[in-house]
Amino acid sequence: MFTPLEGRSVIVTGGSRGIGRGIATCFARAGCKVLIASRDRVAAEETIRDLQDKPGTVSHVAVEVSDPDQCATMAATAVERHGGIDILCSNAGIFPTAKLTTMSPDELQRVMSVNFYGTVYTVQACMEELKKSRAGRVIITSSITGPITGFPGWSHYGASKSAQLGFMRTAAMEFAPSGVTVNAIQPGNIATEGLDGLGEEYLRQMTEAIPHGHLGDVEDIGNAALFFASEEAGYITGQSIVVDGGQILPESAEAMDEI
């Protein structure tokens, strides 16, 4: 049995939909004070309404994570509403496709700005408050794409997701003296609004490539985040956990036929 997380102050960037919503749901269910940070207020308000019956509290702050000033406002809002920050889930991300032959500098810049710089800026903005917490946690949503696998059209995305892990290892060291842990989750293909946008053919292909035979649920990632946030995981830092239904395991396409 893990020590309850009730009352912890949690920020979830990109918490209005998809994986972030799954993370926010798990922390709200655990009785935490959750601040969803995303751009579109309307989508966030719908999520907040849906989570009203959970024991925790959920509210929203508008943030563009690629803007350090807005990240500072996000952190200040959490302090104002919840008295501090215990857990930062740096999850907001985008995954547009662009093959190398046509990828423009702007496309590359945008993916790196949101996925990688956004992670750095949110961590920097929350750093001092996390250090004051008695069990500060940073939990980054990376991916299997980039650090482990590749997919044509996602060289920029994969690089941004690998960059998050490189950042995590040194950040974990810099935070270590204050007892704050910095870890990452590497989701496989998780059923989200963002993934739906990639089309039915992509979803079919991915489902066929997963030994468990189905896409992940957003709360599969939320539960991994709860584990990293737990008191009991306090000695784990600079590590990542793959949550993918076995997707990275097959050595060849034929290996799936042998199951």
Binding mask 29-58 for ligand NAP (x = CB under 6 A): ---------xxx--x---------------
Task: Check binding of 194 to ligand NAP (CB under 6 A).
Answer: yes
Residue with tokens 């482990």: 148
Task: Check binding of 123 to ligand NAP (CB under 6 A).
Answer: no
Task: Check binding of 122 to ligand NAP (CB under 6 A).
Answer: no
Residues 6 or more apart in contact with residue 64 via CB below 8 angstroms? 39, 70
- Name the β-bridge partners of 140: 90, 184
* Long-range Cβ contact pairs of 123-127 (< 8 A, separation 24 or more): 123/88, 123/90, 123/167, 123/171, 123/182, 124/68, 124/71, 125/68, 125/71, 125/72, 125/74, 125/75, 126/11, 126/75, 126/78, 126/85, 126/88, 127/175
Least gap, CB of 95 to ligand NAP (angstroms): 5
Only one of the segments 75-83, 122-130, 146-154, 187-195 lies at the binding site for ligand NAP (rule: CB under 6 A); that segment is: 187-195
How far apart are the C-alpha atoms of 224 and 238, rounded to whole Å?
15
Among 8, 9, 10, 20, binds ligand NAP (CB under 6 A): 20
For ligand NAP, the closer CB: 135 or 220:
220
Alpha carbons within 13 A on the beta-carbon side of 193: 11
Number of residues that bind ligand NAP (CB under 6 A): 30
Task: Check binding of 137 to ligand NAP (CB under 6 A).
Answer: no
How far apart are the C-alpha atoms of 51 and 48, rounded to whole Å?
5
Residue with tokens 């939990």: 139
Task: Check binding of 193 to ligand NAP (CB under 6 A).
Answer: yes
Least gap, CB of 2 to ligand NAP (angstroms): 24
Task: Check binding of 183 to ligand NAP (CB under 6 A).
Answer: no
Only one of the segments 52-60, 92-100, 168-176, 231-239 lies at the binding site for ligand NAP (rule: CB under 6 A); that segment is: 92-100
Written as six digits, the tokens of 169 are: 């290892």
Task: Check binding of 96 to ligand NAP (CB under 6 A).
Answer: no
How far apart are the C-alpha atoms of 238 and 184, rounded to whole Å?
8
Least gap, CB of 187 to ligand NAP (angstroms): 4
- Name the β-bridge partners of 38: 62
For ligand NAP, the closer CB: 190 or 226:
190
117 is an active site residue: no
| CA–CA distances in Å: residue 217 to residues 56, 160, 220, 221 | 21, 23, 5, 7
Least gap, CB of 179 to ligand NAP (angstroms): 26
The binding site for ligand NAP (CB under 6 A) comprises: 13-14, 16-20, 38-40, 43, 63-66, 91-95, 114, 141, 143, 187, 189-190, 192-195
Catalytically active residues, by annotation: 157
